Structure 1
Amino acid sequence: MYDLLIAPFVEFGFMQRALAGSLLLSLAACPVGVFLMLRRMSLTGDAMAHAILPGAAAGFLLYGLQIVPMTIGGLIAGVVVAIGAGAVSRFTLQKEDASMAAFYLISLALGVMIVSLRGSSVDLMHVLFGTVLALDDAALTLIAGISVVTLASLAIFWRALIAECLDPLFLRSVSRLGTPVHFLFLGLVVLNLVGGFQALGTLLSVGLMMLPAAAARFWTGRVITMCTLAVAIGIVSCLSGLLLSYHAALPSGPSIILSAGAVYLLSTLFGTRGAFLARIRHPHRHRTA
């Protein structure tokens, strides 16, 4: 049991850094994912994950695989896409989901093109899918800083965030916090996707944000409990994914996301609000549906 579960994290420094980085990501990204889900903005998170790619790719083109330029580039690109999609939906007839889809598709293609100008297929895979086993001290410092900022912001604006999930129009009518909190939340989404990009790449970073949150929804209806459970699921997924990657010689990022996906599928079936128990508790509802 020791060799199976503990030895990899005791004997190898790269496994320790990978574990620390993924646990820090779980602490911050999973609660953000809960609020994304409650706002019915889950696919927006996926779009924003693609949106950071051209900025990160531009940083790579100019400075190589250095964390600071790629992070700054990703943040700038994410903000530009968020503002651009919002402006199109505000000043034209197009809805926000369509404008966001258009912007993220353009961003994805542009980012792949930029990486291809200088890098190899290996560099492209690194940008798209990350290398959690190659996290260094600078990446861990960045992820830790993002986690602290995220948790502090959630604690300070907790009630306003919940109010905006339930009734954003009411919040804006009774408080001036409505619009600032909305943009603050979008900033937290971009920030955590940039942090996740360092470990899981642009295509998979949203997985650790959304899958634990979606799984937690099948177990509880309380927001605070949902956030706590999502973090726990994220931590378990990271542990199991890293161990699976180590023992089976599989890619670490996809192993983490597939572990979270397995928890999600089990939750849909066996959660207290999942398919089986909900059918047992409310049989007439399912018969008449």
Structure 2
Amino acid sequence: MFDALLWWFTAPLEYAFMRRALVACLALSFTAPVLGVLLTLRGMSLMGEALSHAILPGVAVAFMLAGFSLPAMMLGGVTAGLVTVAVAGGVTQFSGLKEDAAMTSLFLIAMAGGVLIVTLSGNALDLGHVLFGTILGVDNATLLLVALASSLILAGLAVAFRALVVEALDPLFLTLQGRHAGWTHALFMTLVVLSLVVGFQTLGTLMAAGLMLLPAAAARYWSQRLEGMLAIAIGLSLAASVTGLLVSYHAELPTGPSIVLLAGLGYGVSTVAGPCRGLWARYRGPRRESLPQ
């Protein structure tokens, strides 16, 4: 039994492409959930999903100009994401429309334009790679880019973590302390865009936000403390990534959807069994209070 279980875990790692995919998943799992937790604290969870689609035009233009060059597509995605964030901020500033509403409108336009560009410049297979990712096709150069981008995200979080948390909870207090909340918000959105571009390399633009938002949302059912939510979100993301990678290999299933579905399963279990506002905790609470003293 133990030998069979050990084989199930180790057999896929005999292949170099599986080892590279595993490292890419681990890099994404240590960065994306942290940003997801900060997004949920801001009440901006849908912004992550919108931004993951907004990077598509930049990826599509880079693909049209340079072919399937991952460095060029990554640069194009970052550029498109930052432009979308800047335009959404400008619309909010001058029209009074909420930032999430402006972002939703822009991402719909960007998504449609990106799909059109990819379709006109390539074929259905190329579009599938862009939309759903090619995690098993990660080569050494792509893995290096993912590692460098993830390291840059971690460095940004380490340097500005306290300011990012304060800006999420009380931006006015941050301004009173002599630090402009707008710049902190811009830094945070830049890190989110960079993380989503890293996710695009592995999970595609349609599911790049999966490991960012699902573990973060699930963590809120297990802890009310920030450090607890961060640790749980990272743990759930790691579990979904590794297990999804192994399941997809043995069951011959698409890797990206397997990872995201397992992250969704973790979220579903958390909504039921989580001690903080989970359905089971809410059900037991009133019954416990009604017992005679």
TM range (shorter): over 0.9
Deviates more, 1:82-91 or 1:147-156: 147-156
The equivalent position to 1:6 in structure 2, one of 10, 13, 16, is 10
Residue 282 of structure 1: how far off its partner (Å): 4.6
Count of aligned residue pairs for this structure pair:
285
Residue 285 of structure 1: how far off its partner (Å): 9.1
Superposed CA deviations along residues 260-288 of structure 1, whole A, max 9, x for unmatched, are 000110011111211102332355899xx
Q: Which runs of 5+ in 2 are unaligned?
A: none
SS at match of 2:207: helix
The equivalent position to 2:279 in structure 1, one of 264, 275, 279, is 275
1:14 counterpart letter in structure 2: F
The corresponding residue for 1:97 is 100
Superposed CA deviations along residues 109-138 of structure 1, whole A, max 9, x for unmatched, are 010011011211111010001011111111
Q: Does 1:224 align with 2:227?
A: yes
Q: Which runs of 5+ in 1 are unaligned?
A: none
Spell out the pairing of 1:140-151 with structure 2 (5 A cutoff): 140-151=143-154
Q: Distance in 1 between matches of 2:63 and 2:287?
A: 56
Q: Distance in 1 between matches of 2:273 and 2:90?
A: 42
Q: 1:187 to 1:3 in 2, by over 3 A?
A: same
Q: Distance in 2 between matches of 1:108 and 1:38?
A: 26
SS at match of 1:192: helix
Q: Distance in 1 between matches of 2:159 and 2:225?
A: 19
SS at match of 2:43: coil
Aligned residues of 2:273 and 2:279 also touching (Cα < 8 A) = yes
Q: 1:284 to 1:170 in 2, by over 3 A?
A: farther
Q: Distance in 1 between matches of 2:246 and 2:131?
A: 22
Q: Distance in 1 between matches of 2:35 and 2:254?
A: 25
Superposed CA deviations along residues 55-99 of structure 1, whole A, max 9, x for unmatched, are 001111111111111011101100111111111111114322221
Spell out the pairing of 1:180-219 with structure 2 (5 A cutoff): 180-219=183-222
Aligned residues of 1:130 and 1:201 also touching (Cα < 8 A) = yes
Q: Distance in 2 between matches of 1:171 and 1:122?
A: 48
The corresponding residue for 2:38 is 35
Q: 1:106 to 1:159 in 2, by over 3 A?
A: same
Superposed CA deviations along residues 17-75 of structure 1, whole A, max 9, x for unmatched, are 11100110000111011101111110000111011000001111111111111011101
Aligned residues of 2:58 and 2:80 also touching (Cα < 8 A) = yes
Q: Distance in 2 between matches of 1:97 and 1:284?
A: 40
The corresponding residue for 2:56 is 53
SS at match of 1:240: helix
Q: What fraction of aligned residue pairs are identical, expressed as a percent? A: 48
2:210 counterpart letter in structure 1: G
Superposed CA deviations along residues 127-157 of structure 1, whole A, max 9, x for unmatched, are 0010111111111111111221111221221
Deviates more, 1:174-183 or 1:17-26: 174-183
Q: Distance in 2 between matches of 1:79 and 1:284?
A: 50
Q: 1:285 to 1:112 in 2, by over 3 A?
A: farther
Q: Distance in 2 between matches of 1:207 and 1:285?
A: 38
Root-mean-square deviation (Å): 1.5
Aligned residues of 2:44 and 2:100 also touching (Cα < 8 A) = no
Q: Distance in 2 between matches of 1:32 and 1:283?
A: 37
Aligned residues of 1:78 and 1:190 also touching (Cα < 8 A) = yes
The equivalent position to 2:121 in structure 1, one of 98, 118, 121, is 118
